[in-house]
């Protein structure tokens, strides 16, 4: 691995840093609602949404709203290392980073499999923010085993008629469009007979119901389809080949460096709280072992960054990380939980106070972080699935 920027990369890092110095208000980086990663923007209301609209325009002007997209489609056409640098610099500043289902999944897949008409219709609206996208893959009986999905799409003239249910639809209540997997041939083996659709969430027959989590946050939904007629022109790629469209390895930087940086920032914040506050010093006095626990979290966050650098080095060489990506996901998810637990150990009972309580500590971030961390080993591929991949593809162990 090469940890150093070459001359061109160092110059690009300076450009990104100067942009953040001049364009990103520092007060937005220190919001109590967030910690480490810049998420949940919708909770800040209209003022912040206005900022995000202007922010997206600034990013689009540089192509940074879609840094991996080719220039011909409105992206920046950045190299793998330049994408890494952009993500890293934005993460250290806790600034809103480019991303989302539209930019990261729908757009690249449309570029690869879409017709000229589909590209002209959807790619500009993803970049402009006119279309917000969601992912309609998981079902109540098809999560980790996604190929078992049962939502049906039956051809009827110029339309497909869709019936079924999806679950864990992040942002589905606000989405304009979705990427949908549905079964078009129930008699084929489960990985075949699935088709991929560009799905209008406003069509008649679509019902989106909220799934509130223990943070009382509305991020997930369950989505129902009752005789929804989707024009056949919304099929992406070939009929019955949607599984292969959906699992296509897209050559874009996904090292996880932003999460690694977030964990380093959180470890620093917890250590500073333990050192500088009466509550933190009291916890250290009662439990001297907390010093070693804090040191472990700081070291682990650094190890996570090394895993990310390994992945980006492979991508630079034109290699496709496989087991390495699973290692990164597993390590990051488990570290998320350990960091939250360490924060609670340092804060004690004070760690239960939210940002709405006057006596809060660490700006009331701990309760949200602790509760949200419990989802990390599940979302994006469970830890059990990642261990299976590491065992079979990394260690050559037989399947159970």
Task: Supply the residues annotated as catalytic.
Answer: 253
| Cα dihedral 251/317/19/30 (nearest 10) | 80
Please say whether the beta carbons of 162 and 230 come within 8 A: yes
Query: What's the half-sphere exposure (Cβ side, CA atoms, 13 Å) at 128?
Result: 8
Please say whether the beta carbons of 256 and 321 come within 8 A: no
């Amino acid at each position: 691995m090469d940890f150093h920027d070459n001359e061109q990369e160092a110059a690009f890092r300076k450009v990104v840093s100067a942009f953040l110095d001049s364009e990103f208000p520092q007060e937005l980086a220190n919001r109590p609602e967030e910690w480490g990663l810049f998420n949940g923007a919708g909770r800040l209301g209209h003022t912040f949404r206005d900022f995000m609209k202007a922010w997206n325009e600034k990013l689009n002007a540089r192509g940074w709203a879609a840094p991996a997209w080719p220039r011909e489609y409105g992206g920046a056409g950045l190299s793998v290392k330049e994408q890494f640098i952009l993500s890293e610099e934005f993460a250290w500043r806790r600034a809103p980073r480019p991303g989302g289902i539209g930019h990261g999944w729908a757009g690249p897949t449309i570029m690869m499999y879409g017709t000229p008409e589909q590209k002209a219709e959807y790619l500009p609206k993803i970049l402009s923010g006119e279309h917000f996208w969601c992912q309609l893959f998981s079902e109540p009986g098809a999560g980790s085993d996604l190929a078992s999905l049962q939502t049906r799409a039956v051809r009827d003239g110029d339309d497909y008629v869709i019936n079924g249910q999806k679950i864990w639809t992040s942002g589905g209540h606000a989405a304009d469009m979705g990427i949908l997997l549905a079964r078009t041939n129930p008699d084929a083996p489960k990985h075949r007979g699935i088709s991929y659709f560009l799905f209008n969430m406003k069509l008649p027959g679509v019902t989106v119901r909220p799934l509130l989590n223990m943070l009382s946050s509305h991020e997930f939904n369950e989505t129902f389809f009752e005789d929804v007629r989707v024009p056949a022109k919304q099929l992406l790629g070939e009929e019955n080949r949607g599984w292969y469209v959906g699992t296509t390895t897209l050559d874009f930087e996904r090292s996880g460096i932003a999460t690694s940086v977030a964990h380093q920032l959180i470890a620093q914040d917890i250590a500073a709280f333990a050192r500088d506050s009466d509550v933190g010093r009291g916890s250290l006095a009662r439990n001297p072992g907390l010093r070693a626990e804090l040191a472990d979290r700081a070291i682990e966050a650094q190890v996570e960054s090394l895993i990310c650098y390994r992945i980006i080095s492979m991508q630079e060489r034109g290699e496709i990380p496989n087991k390495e990506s699973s290692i990164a996901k597993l390590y990051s998810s488990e570290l998320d939980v350990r960091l939250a637990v360490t924060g609670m150990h340092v804060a004690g009972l004070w760690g239960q106070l939210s940002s709405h309580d006057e006596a809060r500590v660490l700006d009331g971030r701990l309760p949200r972080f602790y509760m949200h961390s419990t989802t990390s080993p599940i979302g994006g591929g469970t830890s059990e699935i990642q261990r299976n991949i590491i065992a079979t593809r990394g260690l050559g162990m037989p399947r159970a």
